[in-house]
C-alpha cells in the first residue's frame, strides 16, 4: 500500500501540455506531474465557458475544493491559476503553480476511495471548527492526540467538522471557526480527511494518522459497535487511487429537480452549491413567482431566475443570465446556476472576512464606472482602481429608467479627459461577467473604500463620511492617504480583529 494520507508532491512543478479550450483558445498549466490528472474537471469547466461564447482574463470558477482563475498571457492563451495556499492567501494572490490545489483534490479523493464511502466534499471557504485547545496543538506543533468529528453542518458555510483534543479540555473548549483553505498551509495533514462523510471520527497525533471510524456519537466517542473505515496505515474496504486507473472526470455540474403538482423544475449546478440552487427551485415551487409557467420570474438575493419551456411539456428549466461574458449576460440565459450563486456567495464571504455586516448588491443594480476604468477592465489592462460605496440621497436610489443604484463607483487615476472621467452605469451582473475581481467586494457596506492594483486588493477601509468631512474642512491640505492612515475617520478592513 502507498503512503497515507496522500503526500504533498516533492517534485518541482513543470509545464504540462497546453489544453485546447475550443475555437483556438489555449490554456496552459504548471504543476507536479503526479497530480496533473486532477486538473481535468477545471479544464472541463473552462471548456464549458468557452463553448458558451467566452473566456476572459480574471475569470474565476469554483471546482472541487479550490477557486480557479484564468490569467491572460496572449491573444488566445490563458494560464490556469489557483490560490497561493503556501502563503495562506486564499483571495488576493493567485499563482500558476497548481500543485497544492491539485494535491488537495488527489488526497481527498484517495481517502474517500480507500474508505469506500460516499464523499461529502467541502470547499476552501467553508468553516472548520476548532476548540481553543486543539488550535493551540496545531499552532504549536504539539504531539497531543486530536479528534476530528464530522457533525451535520448548521449552515451552507459550515463543513460540520469539529477538531478537539482527545483529552477534553473543560477550560479551553470554546470553538473558533477556521477557513478550510487556511489548513492547507497550517495543518496540511488534516486536509485529506475533510471529504469523509458526516458521522466520521478521525484520530491523529503528532501529525500522524491513527484511524477513522463511522459512529453515531455526537461527541466523537468510538465504541466497539462502530465500524472502522480506515486503519492507521490507510487500509480500508476500498483501494488507493494509485492502484486504480484514472477514469474520466465526473461532470462539473449535476442536474437537480423539484416536482410540484406534476410540473418538474430542473436546473444544473456545481454539486457543492446544490443546496443553494435547491432553495431557488423550492421558492418557485412554493409560488413565489406565481403560477409555474414559462416566463415566470423570481428575484433572489443576487440574480434573477426565469422559468423556460422545454420539449417536455411538463418540464420547465430554471434559468438565469449567462455570466460567461458581457455579451452572453445581455443576450442569453442558461440553466447552469453556478455562476449566479457564486456571485451571491462571494459577496457574503468577503463581508465576513472583512468583519462587517453584508449589504449585498443584486446583479440588476447598477455600478457607476468611469469610462477610462471600464475600458481598462474590458481590455484586461493592469491598472489601479478606486472602489467606493456612497450613501444615496433620498430620492436618488434609482436611475430615470427605474433601475436601482447600488451606491458603488469605480474610478481610475489615469482618467485625464472629461470623456475618460465620464461615468457610465452598468449592471453588477455585467461587471461580474466581464471581470470577477470587483464583484466579490460588492457586499461591503456604505463607507467602504477600496484600492485595487493589478487585480489585487491594495488597501481597504470603512470610512465615516461625516468625520471625513470634518477633518477635510479643518485642514483641506491633508492628503487622503494621510487621513486614512491616521485612523481618525476610518478603520482598515480585512485585518485580524477588524
Instruction: State residue 16's pLDDT score.
Output: 86
In 3D space, the residue among 133, 112, 131 whose CA is nearest the CA of residue 212 turns out to be: 112
The answer to whether 364 and 354 have CB atoms below 8 angstroms apart is no
- State how far the Cα of 121 lies from the Cα of 82, in Å rounded to an integer: 18
Candidate from 1-5, 139-143, 318-322 with smallest mean pLDDT: 1-5
Q: d(Cα 426, Cα 369) in Å, to the nearest integer? A: 8
Which residue, among 196, 144, 149, has the nearest Cα to 169 in the 3D structure? 144
Quick one: pLDDT band at residue 146, thresholds 50, 70, 90? very high
Q: What is the pLDDT of residue 248?
A: 35
Under a CB-based contact definition with an 8 Å cutoff, are residues 465 and 391 in contact?
yes
Place of cell 451535520: 152
Sketch the domain layout of the chain as residue ranges: 14-103, 117-236, 254-342, 356-492
Among 265, 267, 264, residue whose Cα is nearest residue 255:
267
pLDDT at residue 148 tops 90 = yes
CA–chain centroid gap for 302, Å, is 15
What are the tens digits of pLDDT across the range 54-76?
789 999 999 999 999 999 999 99
- Give the mean pLDDT of 278-296: 91
CA pair distance 200, 215, nearest whole angstrom: 6
- Rounded-to-integer distance, Cα 279 and Cα 300, Å: 10
CB-side exposure of 4: number of CA atoms within 13 Å?
27
297's enclosing H/E stretch is strand 297-299
Q: Which three cell numbers stand for residue 209?
A: 494518522
Q: CB 448: neighbour CB atoms within 10 A?
A: 25
Sign of CA dihedral 8, 13, 18, 22: positive
Residues 6+ apart with CB under 8 A from 329: 321, 322, 323, 427, 429, 430, 432, 433
From 489, 216, 231, 442, select the one nearest 346 (Cα to Cα): 442
Cα Rg, the chain, nearest whole Å: 24
Nearest to 368 by CA among 303, 422, 435: 422
CA distance 478 to 306: 51
Across 12-21, 417-426, 469-478, 480-489, which has the greatest mean pLDDT?
Answer: 417-426
Q: What is the pTM of this model?
A: 0.51
Amino acid at each position: 500500500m502507498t503512503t497515507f494520507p496522500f503526500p504533498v508532491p516533492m517534485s518541482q512543478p513543470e509545464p504540462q501540455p497546453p489544453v485546447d479550450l475550443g475555437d483556438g483558445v489555449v490554456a496552459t498549466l504548471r504543476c507536479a506531474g503526479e497530480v496533473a490528472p486532477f486538473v481535468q474537471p477545471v479544464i472541463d469547466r473552462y471548456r464549458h465557458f468557452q463553448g458558451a461564447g467566452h473566456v476572459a482574463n480574471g475569470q474565476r470558477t469554483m471546482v472541487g475544493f479550490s477557486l480557479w482563475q484564468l490569467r491572460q498571457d496572449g491573444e488566445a492563451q490563458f494560464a490556469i491559476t489557483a490560490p497561493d495556499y503556501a502563503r495562506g492567501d486564499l483571495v488576493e494572490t493567485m499563482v500558476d503553480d497548481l500543485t497544492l490545489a491539485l494535491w488537495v483534490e488527489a488526497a481527498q479523493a484517495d481517502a474517500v476511495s480507500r474508505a469506500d464511502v460516499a464523499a461529502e466534499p467541502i470547499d476552501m471557504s467553508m468553516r472548520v471548527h476548532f476548540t481553543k485547545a486543539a488550535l493551540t496543538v496545531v499552532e504549536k506543533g504539539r504531539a497531543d492526540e486530536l479528534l476530528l468529528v464530522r457533525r451535520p453542518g448548521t449552515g451552507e458555510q459550515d463543513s460540520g467538522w469539529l477538531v478537539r483534543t482527545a483529552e477534553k479540555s473543560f477550560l479551553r473548549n470554546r470553538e473558533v471557526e477556521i477557513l478550510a483553505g487556511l489548513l492547507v498551509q497550517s495543518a496540511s495533514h488534516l486536509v485529506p480527511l475533510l471529504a469523509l462523510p458526516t458521522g466520521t471520527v478521525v484520530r491523529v497525533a503528532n501529525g500522524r494518522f491513527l484511524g477513522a471510524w463511522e459512529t453515531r456519537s455526537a461527541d466523537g466517542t468510538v465504541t466497539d459497535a462502530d465500524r472502522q473505515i480506515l486503519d492507521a496505515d490507510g487500509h480500508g474496504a476500498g483501494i488507493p487511487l494509485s492502484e486504480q486507473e484514472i477514469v474520466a472526470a465526473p461532470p462539473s455540474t449535476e442536474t437537480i429537480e423539484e416536482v410540484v403538482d406534476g410540473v418538474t423544475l430542473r436546473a444544473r449546478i456545481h454539486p457543492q452549491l446544490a443546496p443553494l440552487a435547491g432553495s431557488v427551485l423550492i421558492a418557485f415551487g412554493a409560488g413565489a413567482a406565481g403560477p409555474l409557467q414559462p416566463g415566470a420570474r423570481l428575484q433572489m438575493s443576487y440574480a434573477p431566475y426565469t422559468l423556460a419551456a422545454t420539449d417536455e411539456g411538463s418540464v420547465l428549466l430554471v434559468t438565469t443570465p449567462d455570466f460567461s461574458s458581457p455579451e452572453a449576460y445581455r443576450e442569453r440565459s442558461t440553466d447552469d446556476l453556478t455562476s449566479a450563486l457564486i456571485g451571491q456567495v462571494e459577496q457574503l464571504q468577503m463581508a465576513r472576512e472583512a468583519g462587517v455586516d453584508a449589504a449585498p448588491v443584486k446583479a440588476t443594480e447598477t455600478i457607476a464606472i468611469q469610462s477610462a476604468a471600464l475600458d481598462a477592465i474590458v481590455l484586461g489592462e493592469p491598472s489601479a482602481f478606486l472602489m467606493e460605496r456612497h450613501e444615496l440621497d433620498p430620492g436618488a436610489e434609482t436611475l430615470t429608467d427605474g433601475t436601482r443604484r447600488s451606491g458603488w463607483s469605480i474610478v481610475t487615476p489615469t482618467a485625464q479627459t472629461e470623456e475618460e472621467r465620464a461615468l457610465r452605469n452598468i449592471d453588477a451582473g455585467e461587471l461580474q461577467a466581464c471581470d470577477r475581481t470587483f464583484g466579490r467586494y460588492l457586499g461591503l457596506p456604505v463607507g467602504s473604500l477600496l484600492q485595487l492594483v493589478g487585480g489585487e486588493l491594495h488597501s481597504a477601509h470603512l470610512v465615516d463620511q461625516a468625520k471625513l468631512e470634518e477633518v477635510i474642512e479643518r485642514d483641506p491640505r491633508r492628503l487622503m492617504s494621510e487621513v486614512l492612515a491616521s485612523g481618525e475617520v476610518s478603520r482598515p478592513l480585512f485585518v485580524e480583529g477588524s
